[in-house]
Every structure is written in C-alpha cells, then in structure tokens.
Amino acid sequence: MGKRSGKKPFSFLSRRIRSAKRLELQPLPPSPIPPSAAANVLQNNAGSPAAEAAPLAAAAAAHGAKGAKKKTGARLWMRFDREGQSEILECDKNAIIKRAAIPARDLRILGPVFSHSSNILAREKAMVVNLEFIKAIVTAEEVLLLDPLSQEVLPFVDQLRRQLPLKSPFRIQEPDHTDKQTKEMCSIDGQWLHVNEASEGERELPFEFQVLEIALEVVCSYLDSNVADLERVAYPVLDELAMNVSTKNLERVRSLKSNLTRLLARVQKVRDEIEHLLDDNEDMAHLYLTRKQIQNQQCEALMASAASNSIVPAGPHLARLSSNIHGNASMAASIYSDDNNVEDLEMLLEAYFMQLDGTRNKILSVREYIDDTEDYVNIQLDNQRNELIQLQLILTTASFAIAINTLIVGIFAMNIPCQLYDAKYQPIFFPFVGGTSTGCFLMFLLMLGYARWKKLLGP
C-alpha cells in the first residue's frame, strides 16, 4: 500500500509535465488579422478576365489559409485606390460601415436579396453602387468591390486595373497643407477667392465618377451582349414557328419570351435608376464626393485660420476681427454656391441613358416581332378552324341528303302491301330508286349553292 500510495503523486506530476511539453511543441494558432492587413496585394496588370481569375483565387485562398477563422458574416471585398493599388479584404459589416461611413441598410441593398436590383445612392462620404452584378462602395479615395471573384465581375476588375491610376487625378489636400491652401485662396488685396476643384485637371472627371463610368460601361456592354444573343436566337425560332406550328416550336417561343421579359426588366431597372438621377439635380450634386471632400477641407482651413486670428488684443482691432470672421463665413458660403453644377455628371449619365434606351428599343423590337409572329400564327389557326367548319357544314349537308334518301327507303321497306312489289311493276323499281337518289343529290347541291351564296363557304 505504501508503494502504491507513493507512486500516485509522481505519476500524476509526470503526466502533467509530458502534456505541458506537448503543448509547447504544438504551433500556436494564428492571430486574427485586421481587414487592412489581411490582404494580399494584387499588382497592377492588364489581361483578360479569365487569366486574372487564377491569381485572384490564389490570393483569396492564401488569405483564407493564413488568416484566422472566418468571422461571422464576413465577406470578400476587393479594394482599389486612385493610385491603382488593389488588395483583397475579408471584412464584416461593421468594418465596412466604419470604413465607408454608410448606414447598415445600404449593405442590405448589396446583399443577395437585391441581386438584380439597380441603385445608385449618395451618402455623405460614399456612393453605393448596385448595378446588376456590380456591387461596390465608392469613396473619394477608394472603391470597395463585393465578390470580386465572380465571373461576371471580372471584366469590371479588368477595366479598373486598366484605367487606374488616374491620368490627371484630383489631389486631395492633406490637413497639414492647410496654410498653403489658405494662401492660394487669398488674393493680393486680401480678398478670398473661390478655388475650383478642377483647376489642376480641366474637364477631368473625379475618381468616383470614373469608377461609376466604368461600372455603367461594363453593365451596358453586358446587357448589349445579352440582347445580341437574344436577337440571334429569336429570329430563326420565330421564322420556323411561322412556317411550322408545332408543340416544340411553341415551347421554344415560350422560353424565348420568358428570357426576353427578364432581360427587359433588368434593362428597365438600370434605365429607370439613371433617369431618376437625371430628374433630380440635388441627388446628382450629392454624388460629387471629391468636391464635398475638398469643400470640407477648405472649411476646416477657414475655421483654423479664423481661430488663429481670433487671439488679438481688444480695441481698434476688434472691428477688423469681426470683418475677418464675416469674410470667412461669406467665403465658405461661396464655396458651397457651386453645388448645383452637375453638368459633367449629367452628360455622363445622359450618354449611358441613351445607350440603355437603345438597348431597350432593341428588346421592344424583338417583342414586337414576337407579337407579329403570334398574330400570324393565330391567323393561320383561324383559317384552319374556318376550313374545318366548312368541312363540317359540307358533311352535315351530305348527311341531311342521305337521311332523306334513307327515309324514303325506310318507308318502302315497311311490311305494308304495295303494288310496286307485284311482278308487273318490277320494271319501275330501279327507276324509282335511281330517281330518289338523284333527287337527294340535287338537294345536296342546292344546299351547297345556297351556302356559297350566303358566303358561308369559301370559293
């Protein structure tokens, strides 16, 4: 008993020491990587969407292997900045909301429930773009693209890589350059001047509008290609149906009409969204994210300069201080006076609105051709139905004539004494039967003639 009682604590300690050694030898689990550092940067390269799918998938796989466990609700995003740098991020809703400063309901618009809806929403610091398969959040400095590995989204990624970085981008002033910016906004005689955001790049679109233009171009090209495929399939099927009305051809036309209706609804949604923006200048003005960012920085610079100039001794300088403050306020008001200038965005949206309107007209022309083919088929069916009715009328008339002849035969077939059955009247039997049949046939011809005279039968 002593030996056994003495070995128990020793064996217990040895097991704990061995388990501690095993824990030291095991590798530690990887720590969670924040969304900003959990990306494999994709270099700026141009190529076909199919060729770029492999590196994107490899980057996503490497990111998933090196990162920690996937957060609940985390989704795959691709980030593009105005310099052309791109990276893949895995962020949840809260990270995206904090990064883009958008409400949570905007992320629901980008969800799978609204997969084929079209929305272009303007927020304070971002623009939410939901056009068909393109679901992105655009700011003045970057664009966050949802589900970048989708086959439909790859052309959009390719276009972003080709057209970014910007040729003449608007450089947003940093907060430490407020003094230089303030000096540039002041003239020689001390009057504040309005600085246009396009002073460095005349007629150059801001970053958010270039991204929006690329998205509209990709979506319109995708819809145009679908309409072209629909036209290529529709016309032969409709011509074959016009020549041969069969169950197989009718089923093909039914499937064609279903595809046409869905495609028309998708084109109509994008067109209506652009038309809604064109009808409201205020909504278009809110989409100028770069201008709003520049205006905010200018206002911050004005407030900083006003605060620095406010520390002066009282006396005769008080009136000058008040005038400076009022001048700064009037200058800030003049900065925001140009908010209704939406000519660039209006021209951009009008171009794609006309393109979508042309695509819609193509679909409507195909639908009109389908309607014309259906009318032609209905006319053919009506003609065949009329021919069947004419045949039924002829058969009914013939049945009536035969019924009269049968009536006469039935009368003489009765078991009644008749002199025609006598031997001396037998030569009259055959002429009587022949005359009766001839009379019924003449009655049939008279009825057909009457039907033709009343235009109940065709020529």
Confidence of residue 7 (pLDDT cuts 50, 70, 90): very low
**How far is residue 413's CA from residue 102's CA, in Å, rounded to a whole number?**
101
- Is residue 206's pLDDT more than 80? yes
Q: Which residues pair with 66 in a beta bridge?
A: none
Give phi and psi for 440, each to the nearest 5.
Answer: -65, -40
Q: pLDDT of 283-315, one tens digit each? A: 888 888 888 878 777 787 777 777 676 555 544
Give phi and psi for 126, each to the nearest 5.
Answer: -150, 165
Residue 108 is encoded by which pair of tokens?
């629901």
Q: Are residues 343 and 268 in contact, defined by beta-carbon separation less than 8 angstroms?
A: no
**How far is residue 117's CA from residue 111's CA, in Å, rounded to a whole number?**
10
> How many other CB atoms are there within 10 angstroms of residue 298's CB atom?
22
At residue 425, the pLDDT reads 66
Q: pLDDT of 152-166, one tens digit each? A: 899 999 999 988 875
- Report which DSSP code applies to 186: B
Kindly give the interhelix angle for 207-243 and 154-163, rounded to the nearest 10 degrees: 140
At residue 72, the pLDDT reads 57
Sheet of strand 127-131: strand arrangement:
41-42, 86-91, 75-81, 142-146, 134-138, 127-131, 118-122
Confidence of residue 224 (pLDDT cuts 50, 70, 90): very high
**Cβ neighbours of residue 142 closer than 8 Å, sequence gap 6 or more:** 79, 80, 81, 82
Residue 372 is encoded by which pair of tokens?
């014309």
At residue 448, the pLDDT reads 85
At residue 249, the pLDDT reads 93
- Is residue 273's pLDDT more than 80? yes
At residue 199, the pLDDT reads 42
**How far is residue 290's CA from residue 335's CA, in Å, rounded to a whole number?**
13
Q: pLDDT of 68-123, one tens digit each? A: 444 556 889 999 988 888 899 888 888 888 888 888 888 888 877 666 778 899 88
Query: Which is higher by pLDDT, 24 or 368?
Result: 368
347: Cα within 13 Å, side-chain hemisphere? 7
Confidence of residue 274 (pLDDT cuts 50, 70, 90): very high
At residue 269, the pLDDT reads 93
Q: pLDDT of 355-386, one tens digit each? A: 999 999 999 999 999 999 999 999 999 998 98
- Is residue 267's pLDDT more than 90? yes
> How many other CB atoms are there within 10 angstroms of residue 390's CB atom?
14
366: Cα within 13 Å, side-chain hemisphere? 26
Q: Which residues pair with 86 in a beta bridge?
A: 42, 80
Q: What is the mean pLDDT of residues 254-279?
A: 94
Q: Are residues 133 and 152 in contact, defined by beta-carbon separation less than 8 angstroms?
A: yes
Please, where are the H alpha helices in 101-206?
104-109, 154-163, 178-184
Q: pLDDT of 412-424, one tens digit each? A: 777 667 666 666 6
- Report which DSSP code applies to 193: -
State which amino acid sits at residue 304.
Answer: A
At residue 201, the pLDDT reads 42
- Is residue 222's pLDDT more than 90? yes
Confidence of residue 197 (pLDDT cuts 50, 70, 90): very low
DSSP-based three-state secondary structure for 144: strand
Query: Which is higher by pLDDT, 330 or 141?
Result: 141
**How far is residue 136's CA from residue 83's CA, in Å, rounded to a whole number?**
18
At residue 155, the pLDDT reads 92
Confidence of residue 456 (pLDDT cuts 50, 70, 90): confident
Per-residue 3-state assignment (H helix, E strand, C coil) for 286-313: HCCHHHHHHHHHHHHHHHHHHHHHCCCC
Q: Are residues 71 and 92 in contact, defined by beta-carbon separation less than 8 angstroms?
A: yes
Residue 252 is encoded by which pair of tokens?
């093909």
In 3D space, the residue among 182, 174, 173, 188 whose CA is nearest the CA of residue 304 turns out to be 182
Q: What is the mean pLDDT of residues 400-404?
A: 89
Query: Which is higher by pLDDT, 52 or 353?
Result: 353
Q: Are residues 207 and 128 in contact, defined by beta-carbon separation less than 8 angstroms?
A: no
Strands 41-42 and 75-81: unpaired
